[in-house]
Amino acid sequence: MDLDLAMKHGKDQGGGGCIAAQRFDGYKLGFDGYNTYLCGMTKKEVLVQVDKGLMLPLMEEFYTIQGEGFHKGTAAYFIRLGGCDVGCHWCDVKESWNADTHPPTDIEQIVQHAAKYSDTIVITGGEPLTWDMGPLTSSLKSHNLLTHIETSGAYTLTGEWDWICLSPKKNKLPEGPIYDKAHELKVIVYNKHDLIFAEEQAAQVNANCILYLQPEWSVRDKVIPMIVDYVMQNPKWKVSLQTHKYLNIP
Ligand code: SF4
């Protein structure tokens, strides 16, 4: 990992940051990276903290407008965590996949920074449920912040959430209980078969779950007409667009 990038979060947080590692390659697979850690922690100590959800691989964090789904148009602070093995071929954040390239960061530092910007915090990734979301969401709630998650549901749901956006993926289907708790179901449409997949997933969510079809950005011109026709014929669905990309914001 680029050292400057790894250090970026600490600098952005007013110099009070406490990034665990200058470089943290292989922290799940044996710590092949640097031995020198800020905070004076050993690799083993960091690993324990990550396993407990007290430190998380922070890829980026930013204050912006939620562009998608039910809360589109709402200002929110985004925390993007590294780590995802779902492997969507059209994924637009592939750099998030390898958690080893994102510095494990103390959750209290993450929360304190987020609280300065917004009362609505969106946890995204990567796949956030790779990690134990309990401590992070507990801390966010203790600061009276609203907790939103964007997840494929591929792993066990942890954490305390005010809003769950479930965006299931074909190659790693959600674990059962999240279907009962999801507030919105957002199916990314890359081709026609995704509409069949969308119906299969909609059949499993709770009755109050809001249903969205969202064009995959790279094929939007091709699939938007198909989605529009489908939603008009099946009005239980709504269209979701990645409006932040149209607005040219993060
Ligand atoms: S689940 Fe999300 S982060 Fe993971 S590969 Fe798919 S689109 Fe990318």
List pLDDT tens digits, range 180-191.
999 999 999 999
Cβ count within 10 A of residue 31: 18
Pairing relation of β-strands 104-106 and 75-81? Answer: unpaired
- The Å distance, Cα 69 to ligand 1 centre, comes to 17
Pairing relation of β-strands 55-65 and 104-106? Answer: antiparallel
Question: What is the model's pLDDT at position 38?
Answer: 53
Does this model's pTM top 0.85? My answer is yes
Ligand 1 nearest atom to the CA of residue 152, by list position: 1
Range scoring the smallest mean pLDDT among 1-10, 17-26, 64-73, 173-182: 1-10
- The Å distance, Cα 167 to ligand 1 centre, comes to 9
Residue count of the chain? 250
- The Å distance, Cα 207 to ligand 1 centre, comes to 26
Substitution site in 79, 169, 172, 186 for ligand 1 pocket (most atoms within 8 Å of beta carbon): 169
* Ligand 1 pocket check for 128: Cβ under 6 Å: no
Task: Return the sign of the alpha-carbon dihedral for residues 96, 98, 101, 107.
Answer: positive
* Ligand 1 pocket check for 81: Cβ under 6 Å: no
Question: What is the model's pLDDT at position 64?
Answer: 97
Q: Which domains does the chain have, with CATH numbers?
A: 56-246 (3.20.20.70)
